[in-house]
A and B are shown apart, each in its own frame.
Chain A
Amino acid sequence: MDSLDASFAALADPTRRAILARLASGEATVNELAKPFKMTQPAISQHLKVLEDAGLILQRVDGTRRPRRLAKSGIDAMDQWLAMLRKALEKNYDRLDQVLAAMESNKEGKRR
């Protein structure tokens, strides 16, 4: 749960979501990631660190470059967890379907 908390906290920031969106189309260096934002490289690096600590991105060493990419396992964990929650919501409304059907048949019963 701790790591999921970190994941969601990491996603509370629009810049970090935009970084993830950029990385979805392929790996990128800090320079490349900084370009679309009016932010300094250290500021972007700070965002990258938050994403990395949350398990959402990974970096590899390529000479002097440190390209970042999405970490599939971190994203998958959140996706699975959200799917679970979605199921809970669906459960509520499936139950509501039953309640509504019972209300309807009561009404029919009284009419007869």
Chain B
Amino acid sequence: MSKLTLKTEGDTHIVVTRRFAASPEAIYRAHTDTKLIQQWLLGPDGWTMPVCICDARPGGKFRYEWTNGKVGFHITGEFVELRPYSKIVHIERMYLPDPTPDNHVETRFEPDGSGTLMTMRMTLPDPQTRAAMLATGMEKGMEASYIRLEGMLRVAA
């Protein structure tokens, strides 16, 4: 049983939801504290994040660098809005090595019973970017890179 949902919305959005058995405060901290981020935002087995810079305040910048020992890549971004402990809005792009178009990400943490429901809504500039993100970024196992093309896979079923 999976607790994760991934779906596309319209032509440019991707929405991910996940429930956690922890308070919104703890999850918010795990998204903004570098020592915590480095422990989980790693994608597939074998990847580490040797560089994790995160200035979690409006206008603050972040930079995450991943490596699997052989190759690496990084993303940079800026925080737009931070509402402890319920909402984070940021913009990010990946370097492959050229920067990808900006991905606008809104992450919400809502109390849900004794835990928290996280909803991450990404907005890409256009459908082509969303498709390209699927075809390149997702294999890196990044937060911004996960999706299920719900509609198209449903039609294939």
Interface positions of A (Cβ within 8 A of B): 1, 4-5, 8-9, 11-14, 17, 20-21, 23-24, 70, 75, 78-79, 82, 84-93, 95-101, 103-104
Q: Which of B4, B20, B40, B153 has the most CB of A within 10 A?
A: B40
Q: Does B55 contact A (CB under 8 A)?
A: no
Considering the chains assembled together, what is the distance between the CA atoms of A24 and B146 in angstroms?
25
Point out the residues of chain A lying under 8 angstroms from B153, CB to CB.
75, 78-79, 82
A92 and B135 within 8 A (CB): no
Within 8 A of A (CB), among B115-157: 127-128, 130-132, 134-136, 138-139, 141, 143, 145-149, 151-153, 155-157
Distance in angstroms between the alpha carbons of A40 and B39 in the assembled complex? 54
Segment of B23-31, B69-77, B84-92, B95-103 engaged in the interface with chain A:
B23-31
Residue of A nearest to B129 (CB): A12
Partner of A4, one of B4, B135, B155: B135
A80 to chain B, nearest CB (A): 11
